[in-house]
Amino acid sequence: MKWLFVYGSLRRGQENHHWLAGQRFQGEAVTRKCYRLVQHAGYPALVVAKSEQEAQTIAGEVWEVTEECLAALDAFEEVPRLYVRQSVCLADSWPQEVEAYFLSPQQADWAAGNKMPQGKSAKSV
């Protein structure tokens, strides 16, 4: 089992939440202020901020997921072409490592100028 931070369409009530059916919700969470969301193909995508000025906190949820669920999500998120799954720093402490889907470096270069406005809700990804 792994813990996964989701911040867009995988969240409860969103269009792709069905991918988390049967998994265990652990709680709501917020990242530390070292990331930002960019628009990529109509969806918000998580990237590491390049400066303190562009950094923001990202709200989301933490889920305990099975390896089978992660494999299906990796295929859905097109890992490693579109996204990569890696550790994420959350504002509150969690009892184990939490991962999230980040925009792949190649895609992040393309999306560099498409930052989401501060405070906009991430309803996708």
Residue 39 maps to a domain: yes
Residue 122 maps to a domain: no
Residue 42 maps to a domain: yes
CATH of the domain at 95: 3.10.490.10
Please report, in tens digits, the pLDDT of each residue of the chain (125 residues total). Answer: 999 999 999 999 999 999 999 999 999 999 999 999 988 888 889 999 999 999 999 999 999 999 999 999 999 999 999 999 999 999 988 889 999 999 998 887 766 654 444 444 444 44
pLDDT on residue 62: 98
Q: Report how many domains make up the chain.
A: 1
User: What are the counts of helices (DSSP H) followed by strands (DSSP E) for the chain?
Assistant: 2, 7
> Residue 76 in contact with residue 68, Cβ under 8 Å?
no
pTM: 0.86
Q: Say whether 78 is catalytic.
A: no
Residue 96 maps to a domain: yes
Q: 35 in helix, strand or coil?
A: strand
pLDDT on residue 39: 84
Residue 27 maps to a domain: yes
Residue 48 maps to a domain: yes
Q: 83 — phi, psi (to 5°)?
A: -130, 160
pLDDT on residue 116: 44
DSSP string for residues in 74-111: HHHTTTTTTEEEEE--BSS--SS-EEEEEE-HHHHHHH
Residue 21 maps to a domain: yes
Could you list the residue range(s) of the whole structural domain that residue 8 is in? 2-111
Among 68, 77, 78, 97, which one carries the catalytic annotation? 77
Residue 91 maps to a domain: yes
Mean pLDDT of the chain: 89
